Structure 1
Amino acid sequence: MSSDSGKKAYVVAMVIQVIYTGMYVVSKAALDGGMNSFVFIFYRQAAATLLLVPLAIILERRNAPPMSLWLFTKIFLYALLGSTVSMNLHNLSLKYTSATVASATSNSIPVITFLFAVLLHLEAIKLRASSGVAKLAGVALCVGGVLVIALYAGPPLSPLNHHRAFAGHAHAAVGNKQGQWMKGTFLMLLANVTWSLWIVLQARLLKEYPNKLLVTALQCLLSTAQSLALAAAATSGKRDVWRLRLDVGLVAVAYSGFVVTGVSFYLQAWCIEKRGPVFLAMSNPLGLLLTVFCSSFFLGEVVHLGSILGGALLVAGLYSVLWGKSKELPPPPSPCPDHASAIICTVKQGSATSDGDMNMDKGDGVKLDEKRIKLDSQV
C-alpha cells in the first residue's frame, strides 16, 4: 500500500469518529428536547431507506441473484435484531445516560463480537498462549468498565461551556436517580450485544448472498416498517410526537439517516478494505475523547469521573483483545533485499501458495539453486 493511501486511511478513520461523535451529540440533544425515541428511529430508518433503496436499484438490479423465501425471512429477522431492536435500545438508553456513556460503551462491541464468534466456533481461545490470556483479560476489562460506569458516579467534572448550543431541558444524566442511570447503562450494553450478534450473523449472510448494498437497503426498508409498527404501539393516541419541527430533532434525523448511514458506512467499508477491521477498531478511543469534549461543550453535559474511568477500562479491554488477535496472525513475508533475491523470493512464495504448504521438496530446492547460480552470474 502506498504512503498516500496510508495517510488517507488515518484521515478517513478520524472522519468516521467525528461523524459518530456528531451522531451521539445531536441524538442526545434531540431526545433531551422531547423527541420520542421510537419515532426518532422510524424517521432515521426512513431517511436511510430513501437514500439506499434507489442506489441499490440503480447499481445492483442487473446482477442481483434470486432470493428465496427462507433467505428473505432471515433478512427480516436480522433487520429486526440489528436495526430495529438494537437502535431502539440504544436511543432508549441514551435518554437515561449520556453521549459519553454511549461512546464509551461502543468500545465493547469488538469484544462482544469476539465472544459471539467464540460461541459459534468461528474463533478460538488458546488458554496456554499469551494471545489467549490477552483476549480473556480484554473481556474482563470490558465487564469491569461497564460495571464502573453503571455503579460508580464519582465527582463531576465541570463542563467546558455553560451556554449550550442546543436548547433543551437540562439533563445532567448522573443527576438522575441512580436506578435510571444503571438501567440506561445496561440497556446500552444490551444494544451493543444485539448489534454484535448481528455483525456475526451478517458475515454469514453475505457469504450466502454477497450483494452488500442490496442486503443493506432491504434490511433498512424492513426495519423502517418494523420501527413504524413499534413506534405506533408505543405512542398510541399521541399524534403530536410524530410532528417534525425545524429544530434539533429534524437535524438529528437527517444527520443519522443520511450522514451516518450513507457517508460513514461507505467510509468504513473503504477503510476496512484498505487497512482491515482492526485498524478501524483501534480508532474508537478517539471517538470517546471527541464525544467527551463535544458533549461537554455543546450540551453542557456534566461528565463524571466514573464514566471516564469506565471508558478507560473499556478501551484497555479493546486493545487487549486486538493485541491478542494480532499475535495469532501469520507473520508477513520477509522483504527481499535486492533484485536477484526478489525473483527467488517470488518463486518461493509462488510455490508455497500454489501447493498450500510452506515446505518445499528437494526438487524445488535444486531448481532454486540453479536459478540462483544463473542470476548471480547475470548480476
Structure 2
Amino acid sequence: MARDFLPGFAMILVQLGFAGMNIISKLAMDSGMNPFVMVAYRQIFATIVIIPFAFFWERNTRPRITGAILFQIFLCSIFGATLNQCFYFLGLKYTTPTIACALNNLLPAVTFVMAVPFGIETVGIERKAGQAKVLGTILCVGGAMLMSFYKGSLIDIGESSIHWRYAENMRERNSSNENNTFLGPLLVVASCIAWAGWFILQAKLSKTFTAPYTSSALMCFMASIQCGVIGVCFERNISEWSLGSDIRLIASVYAGVVGSALAFCLMSWCIQRRGPLYVSMFSPFLLVIVAVVGWALLDEKVYVGTAVGSVLIVVGLYAVLWGKEKEMNQISSVDEIDLEGEEHEEKYDLELQVPVYSNGDIIQNAS
C-alpha cells in the first residue's frame, strides 16, 4: 500500500520545491540577475549533485550507454532543460510568479494531447476512465485560466504574521519595473510545450534505459553546455556572472539542487512507474502552493478567482488521477488473465502430449 502512495508523495515534494524556486528566482532576477545566467548555473549545480548518485547507486545496474541512448538523452536535455527552463525563466522575468504558475497548468492538457499520437496515452472516451481524464484535464485548465484572468472580490482571511521583509523590500525597490503582458505569458506557454515534449521523450527513454540518475546526470551535463553557450551569447559581462550577492547564490544553488537535480530524478522515477500524464497532472498543485506561500510570506491578497480556480484544479487533478489509476488497474487485470490463459494452455498441451508420445506408442495411448 505504501508503494502506491510513493509516486504521489514524490511529486508533491517536487511541486513544493518548484514553489520555492519560483519565489526565490523571481527575487534574484528582480535584483538584476540575467535569467540565462541563472539557468546556466542551475544546470551546473544540478550536474554536480546528481553525478555521485548516478555513480554509486547505478554503477552495477546501469545498462550499456549506446549512441542511440545518448541521442535520446541529448533530445531530452534540449526540451526538458534548455528550452523549457530558458523560456520559463525569461517569461517569469516579464510576469509574476502567480501568472507563470497559472499558465504552467496548461502542461497536463498539452501533455495529454501530445501523448495520444505516440500511443503513450489513450483517450477511451467510451469508458469512465477516459471520460474522467478528459473532464479532469478540462477542469484543471479551466481553473488555471480562471485564476489568470478573473480576479473577483477580495476574500478577507486576515493578515499573515510571518511576512518576509526582504522580499517586501525587494518588491518595493523594483516596483517601477513593468511586466510585458504579452511576451511573458507567451514564453511560459512555450516552456509548457517544451516540457510536454520532454515527458514524451523521457517516457520512451525510460523503457530502454532504466537508470534515471545516470540519464538525469547526462541530461543536466549536456544542458549545462547548451545553457552556458546561450548565456554567454546574451550576457558577455563577466561581472554579471558573479554570485557574490546572497540572493543570486541561494537562487542558483536552490534551482540546481532542488529544481533540477531532485526534481528530474523524482520525475524520471515517477514517469518510469506511472507514465508522463500522471507526473504532469501534479503541476496544478504548484499554483495552489505559490498562492498560499505568497499570502503567508509576501502579503499577497486572496481573491474569489484564486479560491474557485484552486478548487477546480484540485478536483480536476483527482479526476484525472482516478481515471489513470482505473485504466492501469484494467490493464493489469487483462494482463493477468492473458498470463493465466497462457499457463493453462501450456499445461493442457503437456498433459495431451505425454500420453500420446511416451514410448512412441501413439495409437494405443492416444485412446
TM-score range, shorter chain: 0.7 to 0.9
Q: Which residues of 2 match residues 1-379 of structure 1 at below 5 A? A: 1=1, 14-61=12-59, 63-68=62-67, 70-154=68-152, 160=160, 164-166=165-167, 167-170=169-172, 176=178, 180-236=180-236, 238-266=237-265, 286-301=285-300, 305-330=304-329, 353-356=339-342
Aligned residues of 2:139 and 2:312 also touching (Cα < 8 A): yes
Q: Which residue matches 2:360?
A: none
Query: CA 1:282 to 1:250, structure 2 compared with 1: closer, same or farther past 3 Å?
Result: same
Deviations 1:75-102 (A, max 9, x none): 2222111100001111112123333334
Using the TM superposition, give the Cα deviation of residue 219 of structure 1 relative to its aligned residue in structure 2, in angstroms.
Answer: 0.9
Query: CA 1:65 to 1:10, structure 2 compared with 1: closer, same or farther past 3 Å?
Result: closer
Unaligned runs of 5+ in 2: 349-367
Query: CA 1:291 to 1:351, structure 2 compared with 1: closer, same or farther past 3 Å?
Result: closer
The one-letter amino acid of 1:248's match is I
The one-letter amino acid of 2:186's match is F
Aligned residues of 1:153 and 1:307 also touching (Cα < 8 A): yes
Q: Which residue matches 1:376?
A: none
Aligned residues of 2:202 and 2:268 also touching (Cα < 8 A): no
Aligned residues of 2:102 and 2:287 also touching (Cα < 8 A): yes
Three-state SS of the structure 1 residue aligned to 2:116 is helix
When the two structures are superposed, what TM-score results if normalisation uses the length of structure 1? 0.73
Quick check: 294-303 or 215-224, which moved more? 294-303
Identity across matched positions, percent:
31
The one-letter amino acid of 1:220's match is C
Quick check: 140-149 or 114-123, which moved more? 140-149
Aligned residues of 1:156 and 1:304 also touching (Cα < 8 A): yes
Unaligned runs of 5+ in 1: 335-348, 364-379
The one-letter amino acid of 1:206's match is S
The one-letter amino acid of 1:138's match is G
Matched length: 342
RMSD value over aligned CA atoms?
Answer: 4.0
Query: CA 1:197 to 1:184, structure 2 compared with 1: closer, same or farther past 3 Å?
Result: same
Quick check: 253-262 or 323-332, which moved more? 323-332
Deviations 1:212-254 (A, max 9, x none): 2222111111100100111111224x33321112321211111
Three-state SS of the structure 2 residue aligned to 1:124 is coil
The one-letter amino acid of 2:243's match is L
Aligned residues of 1:148 and 1:310 also touching (Cα < 8 A): yes
Q: Distance in 2 between matches of 1:208 and 1:13?
A: 23
Query: CA 1:254 to 1:91, structure 2 compared with 1: closer, same or farther past 3 Å?
Result: same
Aligned residues of 2:160 and 2:299 also touching (Cα < 8 A): yes
Q: Distance in 2 between matches of 1:352 and 1:73?
A: 36
Q: Distance in 2 between matches of 1:30 and 1:123?
A: 38
Query: CA 1:303 to 1:226, structure 2 compared with 1: closer, same or farther past 3 Å?
Result: farther
Q: Distance in 2 between matches of 1:312 and 1:296?
A: 17
Using the TM superposition, give the Cα deviation of residue 33 of structure 1 relative to its aligned residue in structure 2, in angstroms.
Answer: 2.1
Q: Distance in 1 between matches of 2:90 and 2:155?
A: 25
